[in-house]
Structure 1
Amino acid sequence: MSALGDLARVRVQGFVKYEPQPGVTYPEVLIIDDPLRARLRSVALGVGGAMLGLITYVVLAPWVVTGVAGVFWLAEGSPSTFMPWAHQVTNTFSEPSGMVATQLGLATLIPISMALVLLVHRFHPRWLHSVQPGFRWRFAFVTGAVALLVLGAVWAISRIGQSWTVQPEPAFWGFVLAILLTSPLQAAAEEYFFRGYLLQAIHTTAPNSPWFGVVGSAAIFALMHGTQNLPAFLYRFVFGVLAGWLVVKTGGLEAGIAAHVANNVIAFGWAALSGTMVATRTTTATTWAELAVSLAGFAGFAAVAVVIARRMQVATTTPGVRFGATDEV
């Protein structure tokens, strides 16, 4: 296993041509400090890489979803004609198999993002995790626990006056397993692509301010959710902006992933417990009141996550310049 790992590292390193400049923030990682020719190259790769990533996902994810659904369909004894069955379970989450297949399809955004950083931009994929570089597991676990507490409390408060009827889904434990195993992958995948690769790639086209990458990636994230009313669109857009702001302020994806995972586990967990999984999966609308409460929760978590990052002194810039706990990004 060690030999295989060493071989993989050598293969990856063979594609690496650039390293980030020292002391730069997360959005600036893919910018090359070279003459005009390299600057134009960065812009072209930023636009082209973003388009290539979206196209690759649109082509690859359905194959993964169909393949995983096919395995479940065979395991269940081919209960009906495959394609109508697969379409129904993946689009409505009427069965745990539909959730697993769909969320594993979304998880393809992780290898897609890493491949783009390595093969298109020629940087090591470890810079996609954070400016450390690498994934900061301790920070992720701490912010994950805080996200569950903060977002869970806000969600509970938002339900005051509503029904708390417990009527578990028929396949409740199957849903619990699907949520615990695949929701973190799905949430992390969206963060890796939208707040990770896409934010960095868009930033290369307008490097004077991180907000172009933050807002641009958030807009694409919201639009990718398809048909939705205005509050639902703004919910996803503003969440994307807050998650992007967290990336800039904390130097990595961990806090955004924590918020995304906590949100999805709470939403789908209650859906499984209350028998509303199909309704939760297929909803395309939210109210202005729900929008305000949810975004207040995300904003509160983001503020706490930044404080935690400073207390833990997590890196907010690439190695080369030391920043103290009170320095601004």
Structure 2
Amino acid sequence: MVDQNPYYPPPTGEPVTPAQPWGPPEPAATAPEVTQGYEYHRIYRAGRQGWGWYVGGILTSLLLFFVVGAVVVLAGAIVLLLATGTPLGELGDRVAALASTDDVTPSVLLFLNAVLILGIPSAWFCARVLHGVRPRWLASVAPRIRWRWLLASFGVSLLTLFIALVLGALLPGASESEDVSGGINAFTDVTRDFLLVIVLMTPLQAVAEEYVFRGYLTQAFGGLLRNAQVARFLAVLGPALLFAVAHGAGQGFAVFTDRFAFGVAAGILVIATGGLEAAIAYHVLNNLLAFGFALFFGDMTEALNASGGGWWDVAISLVKSAIFVALSIYVARRMGIRTRTTPGVLEPTGGRV
């Protein structure tokens, strides 16, 4: 059930001052979003208003995602190591090895994925507590995961990745990381363990990153400004920049550009399709392809510590993202996917919605 502000819109049609300081500052300006429905990145305009809620939410979400999540998983790892008989003298080294990507093992990949997956409840927490909006509005304007659209997005993603692989094979300048002339890696127990972690955990890790960067942060940046047009640019560029920075200081400029472009493409899709489904499908398949390639043809440590890359790779990635955005928007329009909330479902309110 959605709480609605009984003072908005006023019965007489005259503007009123909201009872709470975090209510809509200008009812006349927000009226079109109430009568036409909110775009995905503007949903928090129906929640608590004020710079403090948005800026505080952005900082809190990053703190929860990068610090608190790591502490929680680290504490769980310590308990597990002690319970399995690890001597106290070895505990520090074992824990340090888990948190280091200098030598990636299945345990290290599991640890990193577990930390990132906790981004989902952290995004839910920020939406509910800081903005008074139910977490389900992070999924889409429905508000839920639209499974039919998610399935279609996986199909579009597969087609796009196939086109990208063909382009990579035809165009010059392929990076050394894509050289498979050495043949397939031997299948060992370590390969099996890596495969289990990738299949079971990597999709959730990709979903979590989308909930944080294209979900919560897109809505927080998108609600920060009253001007809806300027807010649209901020909602795409802000999370994309943070997404690229979050992948580490050791990445080269080409890799940073590639990840920033990925974030921009995913951010455009979230707003253009009204939800996370297309971005989730694209991110999941990209990660599965990257880790699968590294597992069977390359090296997992190099894959997680990518610091360089050819500009041909970046160009192919940009073309791939552009193709996916165009195809996804086309298919979404053909399927009649909503890009706004149902009019009247969300109204500015001081309470939870």
Report the alpha carbon displacement of residue 270 of structure 1 after superposing the two structures with TM.
1.1
Measure the CA separation in 2 of the matches of 1:150 and 1:77.
Answer: 48
**TM superposition score normalised by structure 2:** 0.77
Q: CA deviation at 1:259?
A: 0.7
Larger Rg: 2
Indicate the residue corresponding to 2:245 in structure 1.
Answer: 223
Contact kept? 2:236, 2:268, Cα under 8 Å: yes
| Deviation per residue, 1:101-137 (Å, 9 max, x gap) | 1111001111111111111100111111000111111
Q: CA deviation at 1:32?
A: 3.4
Partner of 1:110: 120
SS in 2 for 1:81: helix
State the partner residue of 1:212: 234
Q: Is the 8 A contact 2:180 2:297 kept in 1?
A: no
Cα RMSD after superposing both structures: 2.8
Q: What SS does the corresponding residue of 1:21 show, helix, strand or coil?
A: helix
Residue in structure 1 matched with residue 297 of structure 2 by the alignment: 274
Q: Could you say which residue in structure 1 is the equivalent of 2:214? A: 195
Alignment of 1:81-96 (within 5 A): 81-92=90-101, 94-96=104-106
Assess if the C-alpha contact under 8 Å between 1:246 and 1:256 holds in 2: yes
Give 1:314 deviation, angstroms.
Answer: 1.4
Q: Which residue of 2 aligns with 1:179?
A: 198
- CA–CA distance in 1 between the matches of 2:99 and 2:154? 27
1:18 is displaced (CA, Å) by 9.3
Could you tell me which residue of structure 2 aligns to residue 98 of structure 1? 108
Structure 1 stretch displaced more, 50-59 or 156-165: 156-165
Question: In structure 2, how many angstroms separate the alpha carbons of the residues matched to 1:153 and 1:88?
Answer: 38
User: Per-residue displacement from partner, 1:240-290 (whole Å, max 9, x unpaired)?
Assistant: 111000011100001001111111000001111124111111222222111
Task: Give a deviation string over 1:163-209, Cα, whole Å, max 9, x none.
Answer: 24201463112111111111111111111111111111111222422
Residue 235 of structure 1 deviates from its aligned partner by: 0.9
User: Measured at CA, do residues 285 and 65 of structure 1 come closer, stay the same or move farther in structure 2, by a change above 3 Å?
Assistant: farther
Change (3 A) 1:49 1:75: same
1:143 aligns with 2:153: yes
Which residue matches 1:121? 131
Q: CA deviation at 1:89?
A: 4.3
Using the TM superposition, give the Cα deviation of residue 216 of structure 1 relative to its aligned residue in structure 2, in angstroms.
1.0
Residue of structure 1 equivalent to 2:5 = none
Identity %, equivalent residues: 35
| Candidates 23, 26, 34, aligned match of 1:21 | 34
Distance verdict in 2 for CA 1:298–1:73, change over 3 Å: farther
The aligned length equals 301
- 2:255/2:306 contact within 8 Å kept: no
Partner of 2:269: 246
Is the CA contact 1:50–1:198 (under 8 Å) kept in the aligned structure 2? yes
Question: 2: distance between equivalents of 1:77 and 1:156?
Answer: 50
Structure 1 residue ranges without an equivalent (≥5): 1-8, 10-16, 322-329
TM-score of the pair, normalised by structure 1: 0.83
Change (3 A) 1:222 1:56: same
**Letter of the 1:113 counterpart:** A
**Which one is further off, 204-213 or 245-254?**
204-213
1:51 maps to 59
Report the CA distance shift for 1:169/1:313 in structure 2 as closer, same or farther (over 3 A). Answer: same
Match of 1:178, as an amino acid? Answer: V
Change (3 A) 1:86 1:151: farther
Do the aligned residues in 2 keep the contact of 1:42 with 1:204 (CA within 8 Å)? no
